Structure 1
């Protein structure tokens, strides 16, 4: 069984993330969504909230694609997380050239740590490529409409978060 790991903070999960997950389901039998515990980023949503949002979206995708999708919080090195979940593939989403430069460095470092784990880059559909969680949060914070960028439940959660 081919297992892939798609890591991120998912603060919050966006339609760009969902598009990458759909594409990743075509490549693997089991997809682990690694929700990073990154205290340095100061996430808007708690780990529990982020995991719940990702699980809600992935339940629908798993049923549609037949791919087993598991949500797995992690705080260790990405390569160690990949080993922990038995992933031979790390899936990364790319939006722009700036993403590639950072990801290129990460691939090089990860290859030194474990040459048996391959990184695959996927791009979301063109209309989803510019979506970034950071920008979505800023739009929501300023009262803008985010339903074009995130699943319905996430848009509702963002509105509730900023209504406080």
Structure 2
């Protein structure tokens, strides 16, 4: 049986980081297609526009046929149902990430038992890298070159 395995990798990606790229590189062999889903949350103030985040992610994954970039609002499990994804992909950096993601996964499972959460542990060298920390460094004019993929950095610098 050759069933398609479609996953959603949700996040703010504000901005995409090398840690995101690492998680997805390790997950791609497991799935036939991965949607990178930029979750739009009206309660959060994004630093980068939705369009810029999409452009940066598309640049990083140009030529990767298994990856598609999408934006969405609302419940992640409901969006999975709309796009036909049976898996939610999440990166885990720490035990606190695990506890948080476990609670969300259990709620998602209660709502949509057919959608499975898949956790990939961060490489130790990337465990301190998060979009929120990188965003703060950017806000205050710090150097983020080592934390953002080169293709995305080129777009960011062109702004």
TM-score relative to the length of structure 2? 0.90
Tell me, in whole angstroms, the C-alpha distance in 2 between the residues paired with 1:39 and 1:125. 31
What is the alpha-carbon distance in structure 1 between the residues aligned to residue 135 and residue 97 of structure 2? 19
1:115, 1:153 → 2: CA distance?
Answer: 37
Uncovered stretches (5+) of structure 1, i.e. residues with no partner: none
Please provide the CA RMSD for this pair: 1.6
Q: Using the alignment, how far apart are the partners of 2:74 and 2:46 within structure 1? A: 17
**Structure 2 CA distance, aligned partners of 1:42 and 1:142?**
16
Q: Per residue, is there more helix in 1 or in 2?
A: 1
- Measure how far apart 1:154 and its partner are: 3.5
Distance across 2 between alignment mates of 1:58 and 1:39: 27
Query: CA contact under 8 A between 2:60 and 2:152: conserved in structure 1?
Result: no
Deviation of 1:70 after TM superposition, in Å, equals 0.7
- CA offsets, 1:43-65, max 9 Å, x none? 001111111111111225x1xxx
Tell me the equivalent position of 2:132: 134
Q: Contact 2:15–2:131 at 8 Å: present in 1 too?
A: yes
TM-score of the superposed pair, with normalisation by structure 1: 0.88
Q: 2-side partners of 1:137 and 1:156: how far apart?
A: 16
Matched, 1:20 2:23: yes
| Aligned-partner Cα distance in 1 for 2:76–2:121 | 20
- Equivalenced residue count is 156
Which residue is 2:84 aligned to? 86
> What secondary structure does 2:54 align onto?
helix
Asked if the contact 2:56–2:155 (Cα under 8 Å) also holds between the matched residues in 1, the reply is no
In the alignment, structure 1 residue 41 sits paired with structure 2 residue 12: no
Structure 1 segments, 4+ long, off by >6 Å, are none
1:55 is matched with 58
In the other structure, the counterpart of 1:9 is 12
**C-alpha separation in 2, matches of 1:143 and 1:159:** 12
